[in-house]
A and B are shown apart, each in its own frame.
Chain A
């Protein structure tokens, strides 16, 4: 049997030349069996080529075409080759992680059902099929899982509400509109382990009595959409959907559609305008029917909870932040990528130890956590543990787990202005404080930066932020002021 060589096909790996590298390996050593897996998320090593050996997979990366040709000329390189990174599973960057959700990403071929099952796939679904709906909901509740999209609402409580809601038709909606800068965990699941999301949605369907599901994925993720479409087709053909009707729907570039009520409007074929709550989507969601709306990572974590038990999930994390956080390290960072770690590790451990500091080698000036609506955190707060409650104490949020690193050349005043600019661009227009406030925010920031009545305008800016926070229905207007306020507090000389 020919030696198996694995080259990632995830969109980041491809953007770094993985397709050409795969072709170069196949050409240099035609006897090898070149397969395309997803990515493990160690993006500084991509394209990371793995070679199967008796001891396990050994890694080489990052490779370009030239290096791949040399390395594979005459067959697969051995573990003794000076460029070998060693056993991939033993890489410190992976050993330091606690992968509960991202167990198969980069390991399996994304669209192989056989490999999915061989690596523990569908165990959670099988367990769920032996339980009552109430028992599934109880397991998810006991696991302590909270919504990984950013709101951190207990998933089990949401599911119980939908289970108890009256209605002949219920829906499972997956929020895959991952629009926050610095985040790509949802994309990784969809591209590298799509059956996991399908399994999670099937379990959710069993738990609340829903036989229809939609995955609302942003148009900016064409490969994720294509992979999911094919995965759904394969899963249905193999009889894994059992009458559960599942479809992918594509967004059209509106950030606000990551807000759950706006997402539902969009799915219904309307402008993505935010809805009043109540009623909650759990009681009157898609087309007015009881609807579970969960983020990709939340749903992708459900199978392991069912398969290994709520206790296992609870054994990770701290306080009320249980399980793992799929941290996405991005921006100006030496080792950028996905790090799944238990809640409670500190920001410093992630950014400095795992991330290795900035890509530029300069000092870190700030880390923006939780996307464009998240605070800029200065180094004096880097010892804060990554858990929902600790982050609240420093007026920051974890959100979807994206951490964007900036070096000392970053102009935080410009970034604060950008927060308003972004909000003005993406506001759905429903709430005046958001629609108008964001535009006025840009103007006030400009005045302060020009030195125009700076003292008065700073007071005005804080007042404007307060109005937006208090007077907006959803998180866009309600949180866009947070990065601005964090800059005013921690980087006062810049705004």
Chain B
């Protein structure tokens, strides 16, 4: 999922099945196929549209680019930011890298998991939050860093985290 647009609210989740999918993927292929090395831009576009890369889109993308489904699957599974299932309404990335660890990042991680009741990769039962790790947000002078729905937050301690998630 494009990190700047980490919300399912923006995506047309309802289109992820049925005829709408083929049409949307076809339009994306038409628009991007002529790029040099088009697969990653296409996967980003599909994910921007649906919030994740629906399984049914894989054969369509493969056919459109004259690749095997295995090749497309291999690329999707290699990159951590490509999702194969829908995320919660808001995606929360917590930086796990060293600069954040130097400022209490591990405490924040543990707090976040406890507060949301989920582990990395999980989505809260109410579908509100998906929690993901990230390795560096380039905000290392103001650690610990959190990205919530595409918005970067600095110096996030457990108290600031609770305010962020409104709990």
Contacts and interface: CB of A to CB of B under 8 A. Distances in A.
A259 interface: no
20 contacts: A12-B152, A15-B153, A16-B154, A183-B136, A184-B138, A184-B141, A219-B2, A220-B3, A222-B150, A250-B2, A250-B40, A331-B103, A331-B140, A333-B141, A337-B141, A404-B98, A404-B99, A407-B102, A418-B98, A426-B135
Interface of A: 11-12, 14-16, 43-44, 46, 178-184, 187, 212, 219-223, 225-226, 247, 249-255, 266-272, 287, 328-333, 336-337, 359, 368, 372, 402, 404-407, 410, 414-415, 418, 422, 425-426, 428
Given A330-B102, A425-B135, 11 more contacts: A11-B138, A15-B151, A178-B138, A180-B136, A182-B98, A219-B44, A222-B3, A223-B4, A251-B40, A332-B102, A418-B98
Given A271-B75, A331-B98, A11 B140 contact: no
A76 to B, nearest CB: 27
Nearest to A187: B138
A336 B36 contact: no
A219 B5 CA distance: 11
Contacts, number: 157
Q: Which of A181, A223, A405, A418 has the most CB of B within 10 A?
A: A181
Contacts of A187: 138
A14 B40 contact: no
Given A44-B141, A183-B140, A12 B154 contact: yes
A254 B80 contact: yes
Contacts of A331: 98-99, 102-103, 140, 143
* Chain A contact surface mostly: mixed
Contacts of B101: 410, 415, 418
Interface residues of B, number: 45
A43 B43 CA distance: 35
Interface of B: 2-4, 35-41, 43-44, 65, 74-75, 78-82, 97-103, 106, 134-143, 145, 147, 150-154
Given A11-B152, A15-B153, A252 B138 contact: no
Given A180-B136, A252-B80, A269-B75, A222 B97 contact: no
